[in-house]
Amino acid sequence: MEESTEIQTYQGAVGSLTYAARTTKQDIPYAAGHVGRFAANLSTIYWAEVKGIHPYVQVTKEYRLLVGAGKEGISSEHATI
């Protein structure tokens, strides 16, 4: 793959993670920001990190953040796994 095309592909993948971090996945902003810092200086290490985050997002896409569980804590009827 040509270097400029590879950089654009990487930047697209990072952009997808950043969008997800800002809109629906509040558990990945640090990871998305970390890999985003290297968008202009691409290496296989950063690609491996991006490729490791994407499966996590897929596996956890049904997870929900529960705010205000109350004094009793989270009951099994409210937990989403």
The confidence band for 76, taking pLDDT boundaries of 50, 70 and 90, is low
Whether the predicted pLDDT of 81 surpasses 50: no
Cα of 77 vs its chain's centroid, Å: 27
Q: Quick one: 53 exposed, middle or buried, by C-beta within 10 A (0-12, 13-18, 19+)?
A: buried
Instruction: Answer whether 49's CB lies under 8 Å from 34's CB.
Output: yes
Please give the model's pTM, rounded to 2 decimal places: 0.64
